[in-house]
Structure formats: C-alpha cells, structure tokens
Amino acid sequence: MGQTKEIITTLLPFLVLFLIFYFLIVRPQRQQQKKHKEMIEGLTKGDKIVTQGGLIVEVLKAEANFFSVKLNDDTTARLSKNYVAFKLDELDQFGLAEPIVIQQGREEIPARLSGTKTLKQRQITTE
C-alpha cells in the first residue's frame, strides 16, 4: 500500500504537466491543422491565395495534390497543396488586409499587409 502511494505521488506531477501540455499546445495545433486542411479542400476556381513563399496567386483548377494557379495574365503554374499559406479573403474578415504605403524616394507604392492583427496601417520608407 505504501509503495502504491509513492508511485502515485511521483507520477501525479508528470500527469498534470502532460495534461497542461496537451490542452495548451497539442490540441489547439491539431484544430488549426484541421481548419487549414478544410480551407485547402474548399478552394475553387477564382479564389486568391497566398503561397508559403509570399506570392499572391489565383486558383484556376484544383487537382488531387496540386492547384493550377495564375501568377499574372501570361503565366500559369502548378502549386503543391502543401505550399498554400492562406486564402486572401481570410485577412479581410479580420480587418488585416488594409492598405499600407511603401514610399521609395518620392514614389508611393500601395501594398497590402498580412500576418498580424495588431498592425493595421503603416508607412514604410526605403532609401
């Protein structure tokens, strides 16, 4: 009886740490992966996406493991589904796609900001 009590008191902190780790890290990550997979499966022709490399492309055709995408008017390419970062209109839902201005010398270049909720509008100056 005494050894059983010692084993329980020894293992209890590890069990508590495991549960904290699971609910704070593992479970939210799995939910995020599931949501991302559903987003990729739901992409259709005409959707604009951002790739892992930062390119903004338009989906032309969904295939088994690839998307046919349009980079500009003349250029099409095939993109692996593994390299889709997010759907562009998802930013609009959170108000993250507000324009920013990149100023290069005297020329102002409109751009779009992505990836942060706290920064809505910003001016970037380059020399």
**CATH number, position 56:** 2.30.30
Asked whether the predicted pLDDT for residue 12 surpasses 70, the reply is yes
Distance CA 85, CA 80 (A): 11
Domain range for residue 117?
Answer: 93-126
pLDDT tens per residue across span 71-97: 999 999 999 999 999 998 865 655 555
Give Cα 11 distance to the centre of its chain: 37
pLDDT at residue 89 in the model: 80
Asked whether the predicted pLDDT for residue 109 surpasses 70, the reply is no
| Predicted structure pTM score | 0.61
Per-residue pLDDT band at 102 (split at 50, 70, 90): low
79 and 107 part of one domain:
no
Per-residue pLDDT band at 33 (split at 50, 70, 90): very high
17 and 5 part of one domain:
yes
Cα–Cα distances in angstroms (integers) from residue 63 to residues 11, 14, 67, 80, in the given order: 49, 46, 6, 9
In the chain, how many domains are there?
3
26 and 2 part of one domain:
yes
32 and 1 part of one domain:
yes
pLDDT tens per residue across span 111-126: 554 444 444 445 555 5
26 and 3 part of one domain:
yes
- What mean pLDDT is predicted for residues 67-72? 94
32 and 58 part of one domain:
no
80 and 62 part of one domain:
yes
